[in-house]
Amino acid sequence: MSTPAPPPGDDTPTARLEQHAGVDVVVATGDLDIYSVMAFRDVVAMAVLSLRPYVLVDLTAVGFLDSTGIAALVSSRRRLQAREAELGLVAGRGAALQVLKMVGLDQVLRIWPTLDDALAEVGVA
């Protein structure tokens, strides 16, 4: 099954893997939706394979988060739990945070307002 093409004029979303203080950080930008979720999942898969004990997903630059994005986060959490690792989210105070709260992910995942806050708690220098 192929992924539909994004609408014309849509900003290209990105996902990249960074390392901060011994923690893998997946940084997502743009919209995390049906058009971009496969690239996001690929980057998260790299973090899962790294075998680090904690993976953070930084959603502060995500402007829109749909059900496929939520499903990708839940799937990532399950994959990490299977190898006894944890997933945490950085969501700022924007639209992504509101969606995460609406679907109850704030009840099952740690969510920090900033990457610095998250790294202060989970980072290993």
SS3 state at 77: helix
Q: How do residues 41-51 score in pLDDT, each as one tens digit? A: 999 999 999 88
Total of domains in the chain? 1
Confidence of residue 124 (pLDDT cuts 50, 70, 90): low
Structural domain includes residue 94: yes
CATH number at residue 84: 3.30.750.24
Structural domain includes residue 6: no
Structural domain includes residue 105: yes
Residue 55 predicted with pLDDT over 70:
yes
Q: How do residues 3-41 score in pLDDT, each as one tens digit? A: 444 444 446 789 999 999 889 999 999 999 999 999 999
Structural domain includes residue 4: no
Residue 59 domain boundaries: 14-115
Structural domain includes residue 122: no
Do residues 88 and 111 touch, judged by C-beta distance below 8 A?
A: yes
Residue with tokens 């989210």: 89
Structural domain includes residue 9: no
Structural domain includes residue 5: no
Look at residue 11 in the predicted model and tell me its pLDDT. Answer: 61
Buried b (16+ CB within 10 A) or exposed e, 77-107: bebbeeeebebbbbbbeeebbebbeeeebee
